[in-house]
Amino acid sequence: MKKIEVIKSKPIIIFKDNIDTDILIPKNYLKTTKRKGFEKALFSPWRYDVKGEEIKDFPLNIDKNKDRNILITGDNFGCGSSREHAAWALIDYGIDIIIAGGYSPIFYMNYINNNRLPIILDEKYRRELVDDIEIEIDIINKKITQEDRIYSFEIEDSFREKLINGEDNISEILKYEELISSYEESKI
């Protein structure tokens, strides 16, 4: 897993509330459990017209946004049906951090469990962040910095440690492999 301590990027801004998983990745893309190959599916109902052509002014289609890995968005991000593919599509596109007003609890955990960071930040502060100036996200100190503006965010310490150490749930369990084996042997 990728260790994430500090991320620096200009953001992509899609300031809409209630972006659901059907918009993030429509159901016709859910035919595989591989975690790759979803980049083009991300936001496809908004990125492409009925002929499959790119809608030029959609933020993910704008050239200057192609290598950015921070997404700023509205409230209730990732609502709708539970699909881990939504997290995979964002990650496959290159989005490591999302800054929103809130998340569907299932989406929030799916994103965290894929070693990425969903940040909750008040709308007033999200609207102060601009798209053509680099943002620094310091996960160790739980700070967002853009020029002279500094914002704090909260993240559960166990999730923060996993991101910093590049661990997932399996690697966390493997830390206790010896204890687990010892316990299992004692029960035989």
pLDDT of residue 34: 67
Q: How confident is the model at residue 28 (pLDDT cuts 50, 70, 90)?
A: confident
Kindly report the pTM of this predicted structure.
0.89
CA distance 120 to 73: 10
pLDDT of residue 183: 86
Residue with tokens 């998340």: 103
Q: How confident is the model at residue 47 (pLDDT cuts 50, 70, 90)?
A: very high
pLDDT of residue 29: 66
Q: What is the mean pLDDT of residues 150-155?
A: 97
Q: How confident is the model at residue 93 (pLDDT cuts 50, 70, 90)?
A: very high
DSSP 3-state of 171? helix
pLDDT of residue 53: 95
Domains of the chain from N-terminus onward: 6-186 (3.20.19.10)
Burial 44-59, CB ≥16 within 10 A → b, else e: bebbbeeeeeeeeeeb
- The answer, yes or no, to whether residue 109 has pLDDT greater than 70, is yes
pLDDT of residue 185: 86
